[in-house]
């Protein structure tokens, strides 16, 4: 069959298909769901099925995409003109989507009551230029997890300041096969692991004038401390071989005294290492209290031809019953006030430990080209951990590169 014939055949098939669906007067909403765990897909299918029962003329088509390939998938879809109607995205990408005209502002769809159900701290990162470009769909704040058994064995006390952390790490590292402080040096969020220290040392990712804060003395101090701990054997060896998952696995094995992590680790520990004696604590301080708030956004596509229907589905999916199920199941912090008011978030001491950091949570800055900037930071940190450059050299170079990317 010649290509011409094939195209004609495809075109006729497509036309028939469109006519057929028109005959049923059904609107399809394409929803790209980022996969957090094996529960994510089934959960949204359940929401979709319940919604379709109440709205038989709307069909929700769910596509579950693994996080690692989500940005690639969305890029390809948009480039190919086949973007979905709504999608979960990392809020760190939102500015890029907004600037390119891909994201649809939702202020007009949002009723005041619906808007008031969201916790402001989590809504804020999705607001760009005064317009709400998406709804928070998942959130976490970070905290420190300590292995109480190791602390007891080493005769150390869970630290509240960085100096105390250094001392505790020294003591724990003398125990056989144990490492005081877990340090992540590979792949996604290697930079975030550094920001935890950067913020609590009083520094910031961006200065007030928008230039990179990586060359500031606080940043260099934080990186120098990390490098010192690596050199003195207070961390697991070769941090550049440890991705986030590897580090948490090591903690689950009971080999690490202190690690920075997210609430989603707790259900993992309960299933895979039920005997681990852990405790949730805030990040150690030097000059400030801080934690890292991360949100993911549910975004509507500007080119969508089913916005009304998609919004109807969104309102349905944000009902308390669904939000509760989602947040509990995945281990997230609630983004809506009603769910946050549940007893669970006060009585469950683990979740409460993470939620306690919210008042002073810092978020990744909403700027363009975040992925590229994060990559520069990660590379610089890796060079520091590998001993290829001093913290000052690496961070100053990184700051210069970032300023160039930002056009400053």
Is the CB of residue 316 less than 8 Å from the CB of residue 108?
no
Closest CA to 305 of 47, 30, 100: 30
Least Å distance between CB 303 and another protein?
A: 11
Choose between 123 and 280: whose C-beta lies nearer to another protein: 280
Planar angle of CA 162, 166, 170, nearest 5 degrees: 165
Residues 6+ apart with CB under 8 A from 75: none
Binders of another protein in range 61-100 (CB under 8 A): 61-82, 96-97, 100
Q: Is residue 129 part of the contact set for another protein (CB under 8 A)?
A: no
* Residue 312 touching another protein (CB under 8 A): no
Largest Cα–Cα distance of the chain, in whole Å? Answer: 79
- In the complex, minimum distance from the CB of residue 69 to another protein, in angstroms, rounded to a whole number: 6
**Does 46 participate in binding another protein (rule CB under 8 A)?**
no
> In sequence order, which ranges of 179-276 are alpha helices (DSSP H)?
190-200, 217-231, 244-252, 265-272
Question: Do the beta carbons of residue 291 and residue 360 sit within 8 Å?
Answer: yes
Q: Which of 383, 395, 396, 399 binds another protein (CB under 8 A)?
A: 383
Segment near another protein (CB under 8 A); pick from 107-115, 144-152, 341-349, 372-380: 372-380
Based on CB atoms, which residue is closest to another protein, 123 or 266? 266
- Cα separation, 251 vs 146, whole angstroms: 9
When binding is defined by CB under 8 A, the residue of 28, 224, 268, 324 that contacts another protein is 268
Nearest to 327 by CA among 339, 314, 341, 342: 339
Residue 240 sits in the site that holds another protein (CB under 8 A): yes
Query: By CB under 8 A, is residue 407 in contact with another protein?
Result: no
Candidate residues 112, 130, 176, 274; the one interacting with another protein per rule CB under 8 A: 274
The one among 171, 186, 227, 286 contacting another protein by CB under 8 A: 186
Q: Under the criterion CB under 8 A, does residue 404 sit at the interface with another protein? A: no
Query: Tokens 């930071």, residue?
Result: 377
Q: Is 392 in the site for another protein (CB under 8 A)?
A: no
d(CA 193, CA 145): 14
- 262 vs 326, beta carbon nearer another protein: 262
Read off the DSSP letter of residue 118.
B
Residue 16 within binding range of another protein, rule CB under 8 A = no
Q: Quick check: 135 and 298 in contact, CB under 8 A?
A: yes
Span from 20-28, 151-159, 266-274, 342-350 in contact with another protein (CB under 8 A):
266-274
Taking the complex as a whole, the smallest distance from the CB of residue 160 to another protein amounts, in Å, to 27
How many angstroms separate the first and last alpha carbons of the chain? Answer: 56
d(CA 363, CA 33): 23
Q: Which of 131, 319, 325, 379 binds another protein (CB under 8 A)?
A: 379
DSSP element (H, E) containing 297? strand 291-300
Check binding of 299 to another protein (CB under 8 A). Answer: no
Q: Which positions from 328 through 347 interact with another protein, judged by CB under 8 A?
A: 330-331
């Amino acid at each position: 069959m010649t290509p011409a014939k094939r195209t004609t055949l495809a075109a006729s098939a497509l036309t028939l298909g469109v006519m057929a669906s028109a005959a049923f007067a059904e609107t399809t909403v394409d929803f790209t769901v980022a996969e957090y765990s094996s529960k994510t897909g089934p959960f949204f299918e359940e929401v979709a099925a319940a919604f379709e029962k109440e709205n038989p003329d709307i069909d929700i088509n769910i596509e579950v995409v693994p996080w690692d390939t989500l940005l690639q998938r969305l890029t390809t879809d948009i480039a190919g003109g086949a973007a979905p109607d709504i999608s979960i995205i990392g809020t760190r990408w939102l500015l890029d989507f907004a600037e390119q005209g891909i994201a649809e502002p939702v202020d007009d769809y949002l009723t005041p009551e619906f808007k008031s159900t969201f916790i402001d701290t989590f809504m804020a990162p999705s607001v760009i230029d005064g317009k709400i470009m998406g709804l928070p769909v998942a959130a976490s704040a970070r905290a420190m997890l300590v292995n109480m058994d190791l602390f007891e064995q080493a005769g150390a006390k869970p630290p509240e300041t960085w100096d105390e952390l250094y001392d505790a790490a020294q003591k724990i590292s003398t125990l056989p096969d144990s490492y005081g402080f877990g340090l992540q040096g590979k792949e996604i969020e290697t930079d975030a692991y550094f920001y935890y220290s950067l913020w609590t040392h009083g520094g910031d990712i961006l200065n007030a004038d928008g230039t990179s804060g990586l060359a500031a003395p606080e940043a260099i101090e934080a990186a120098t401390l990390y490098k010192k701990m690596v050199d003195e054997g207070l961390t697991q060896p070769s941090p550049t071989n440890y991705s986030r998952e590897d580090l948490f696995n090591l903690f689950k094995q009971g080999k690490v005294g202190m690690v920075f992590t997210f609430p989603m680790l707790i259900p993992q520990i309960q299933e895979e290492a039920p005997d681990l004696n852990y405790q949730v604590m805030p990040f150690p301080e030097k000059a400030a209290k801080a934690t890292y708030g991360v949100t993911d956004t549910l975004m509507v596509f500007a080119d969508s031809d089913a916005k009304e229907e998609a919004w109807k589905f969104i309102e349905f999916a944000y009902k308390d019953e669904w939000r509760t199920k989602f947040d509990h199941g995945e281990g997230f912090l609630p983004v809506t006030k009603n769910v946050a008011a549940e007893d669970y978030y006060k009585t469950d001491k683990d979740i409460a430990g993470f939620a306690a950091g919210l008042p002073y949570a810092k978020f990744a800055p909403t700027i363009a080209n975040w992925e590229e900037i994060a990559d520069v930071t990660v590379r610089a940190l890796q060079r520091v951990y590998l001993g290829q450059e001093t913290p000052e050299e690496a961070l100053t170079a990184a700051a210069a590169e970032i300023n160039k990317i930002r056009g400053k």
